[in-house]
Chains A and B, each alone.
Chain A
Amino acid sequence: MLELPAYTEHLKEGILAEHQKNNNESIENPGPLQTYEENLSRGEFRIQQCKDCGQHVFYPRLLCHHCGSNLLKWVAVSGRGTVYSTAVVRQRPEKGGDYNISLIDLEEGPRLMSRVVDVDPDEVTIGMAVSAHVGMIDDKPAVLFYNKEQGDKEW
């Protein structure tokens, strides 16, 4: 057995204790990505909006990639989007079969990768109107899209 992991664990604990002592109130914990994922795990799809330039930001960041501001707030989204491009990943049926990968432009501006899941993978077309809901892929919460409205959304 290597001794190193236990040693580094011990070091890390000491450093963590120091960090807690000097806790900097100006930093919000956890960071944006973990906050995003915690929202998703509660079934809420939220993205960031810049308080300075007003533009939306995705993926979650500490800094606005439009204007550089560090003032970002979490906002609900309409969930409405349009397929910007789409592809079919071919996979043997015994491994789960073909599936869709699309890039979706949200009404709010940002583009994200996702899957359109209520039509056959090769029936998804560029320009198709889609709406978001929070589902699961491989036991992980993920934003998925439907070509048809899926009722009221809570976010």
Chain B
Amino acid sequence: MSLRGETAVVGVGLTEFNGMPGHTHMEIMATAIDRAIADAGIKKDEIDGIFSANFVEMLTPLTVAEYLGINPTYMDGTNTGGSVFVNSMQSAAAALSLGLCNVALICYGSNSATGPFTHPPAMHTVEDVYRPRNPITPYALAANRHMHEFGTTKEQLAEVAVSARAWAQLNPAATMRDPLTVEDVVNARMIVDPLGKFDCCLISDGGAAMIMVRKDRARDFPKQPVYMLGVGSRTDHNLISCMPDLTTTAAKEAAAAAFAMAGVTPADIDVVELYDAFTINTILFLEDMGFCKKGEGGAFVSNGNIAPGGSLPVNTNGGGLSCVHPGMYGMFLMIEAVQQLRGECGERQVDNAKLAACNGSGGFLASQVSAIFGTGETL
């Protein structure tokens, strides 16, 4: 069977992003869960599927079940890095469709900004010995290779950050809302060349939670359901030295699978939410997902094309670059897609948005999970 349209998102919850000092990651997560439960109009005891992972503890689904005082029938603590929540959404859709659970909760919380500093995990002795500044260096290597092969420029990378900031200026919840120009980005302090300060995502506190059910129940909740139409998950490495081609990610295959399941093409998509940990990500994923040709991403993001008023709205909350990035961002991009399809996005709302495409990235461009969401009329 296909998972197309079999499940829907019926509740979402976000915390504030501007710091929650004195809160643990679980307390931040609980804040988001509380809001998602209220949004779906359910009681916490109805949740019987838990999908959760983070980078500070091993047994996250157990922590969440204990914290909520529930005894779920299905748990998934898979960790593929920041893509994991899109991956979890795939697992939740499958588990719901098979009746292994009836109400799935996907959730995340982090106190990256105000909590104790967490060192990036060791990768492998063959790389760690060189002290690559992870996670930035792998993306700098990808950016440099893209610039070498296709003539992509620092100014084009900067356009990604500037577009994200322009969206953030329309989002009262976003962290960074001051004006930002291409010159600001290009002239900023270099962190790992060719990536400077504004090419890198934020470090935030933040929690996010999402509730999914099968389509037969999807209309029984207060909010308009948002259907999962397609999903695809792929990975082609873990160490950056093992990535076959630094200019093409596994999102190429992941997105192709997601579009095929959904039965739509990039041209049909109204709004796009991508994991922009660094400016190069947006360019790579737009190319790999088929929104433009390989190598043409730099030109595609220029002249405000992905900014408000451009031809393709991308990262409409301001993204990881300007809205929020609490360590693992995959949850937040899906929720922005859901809220856009519900028409809840105020000043940044994309007119008449019916189809949204997402891509979560995990590890260093390693795990790629694409998803297509749609309103009821796209079923």
Q: Does A25 belong to the interface (CB within 8 Å)?
A: no
Q: Which of A33, A88, A111, A127 contacts B125 (CB 8 A)?
A: A33
Given contacts A33-B125, A87-B193, A90-B191, contact A113 B130 (CB under 8 A): yes
Q: Does B7 belong to the interface (CB within 8 Å)?
A: no
For the complex, would chain A's binding face be called helix, strand, loop or mixed by DSSP majority?
strand
Q: Does A52 belong to the interface (CB within 8 Å)?
A: no
Number of interface residues of A (CB under 8 A): 28
Q: How far is the CB of B101 from chain A (nearest CB, A)?
A: 36
In this complex, what residue of A is CB-closest to B149? A126
Q: Does A115 belong to the interface (CB within 8 Å)?
A: yes
Given contacts A89-B137, A90-B191, contact A103 B129 (CB under 8 A): no
In this complex, what residue of B is CB-closest to A136? B129
CB atoms of B137 and A101 under 8 A apart: yes
**Complex: A115 Cα to B137 Cα, angstroms:** 13
Q: How many A-B residue pairs have CB under 8 A?
A: 77
CB atoms of A90 and B193 under 8 A apart: yes
CB atoms of A101 and B130 under 8 A apart: yes
CB atoms of A88 and B192 under 8 A apart: yes
CB atoms of B132 and A89 under 8 A apart: yes
CB atoms of B129 and A137 under 8 A apart: yes
Given contacts A113-B127, A113-B241, A142-B129, contact A85 B142 (CB under 8 A): yes
**Complex: A103 Cα to B365 Cα, angstroms:** 15
CB atoms of A126 and B144 under 8 A apart: yes
Number of interface residues of B (CB under 8 A): 27
**Complex: A37 Cα to B126 Cα, angstroms:** 9
Given contacts A137-B129, A137-B130, contact A87 B124 (CB under 8 A): no
CB atoms of B141 and A103 under 8 A apart: yes
Q: Does A55 belong to the interface (CB within 8 Å)?
A: no
Q: Does B43 belong to the interface (CB within 8 Å)?
A: no
Q: Does A59 belong to the interface (CB within 8 Å)?
A: yes
How does the 8 Å CB contact mask read for B136-148 relative to A, with 1 for contact and 0 for none? 0100111011001
CB atoms of A115 and B130 under 8 A apart: yes
Within 8 A of B (CB), among A96-155: 99, 101, 103, 111-115, 122, 126-127, 137-138, 140, 142
CB atoms of A101 and B193 under 8 A apart: no
Given the complex, which residues of B lie within 8 Å of A37, measured CB to CB? 125
Given contacts A101-B141, A126-B148, contact A89 B192 (CB under 8 A): yes
Given contacts A85-B148, A89-B131, A142-B130, contact A113 B125 (CB under 8 A): no
The interface of chain A, by Cβ under 8 A from chain B, is 33, 36-37, 58-60, 84-90, 99, 101, 103, 111-115, 122, 126-127, 137-138, 140, 142
Q: Can you show 7 pairs from A to B with CB atoms below 8 A apart?
A: A33-B125, A59-B126, A85-B148, A87-B140, A103-B240, A111-B242, A142-B130
User: What are the 3 tightest A-B residue pairs by CB atom distance, in nearest-first order?
Assistant: A87-B140, A88-B193, A85-B145
The interface of chain B, by Cβ under 8 A from chain A, is 124-127, 129-133, 137, 140-142, 144-145, 148, 189-194, 239-242, 246
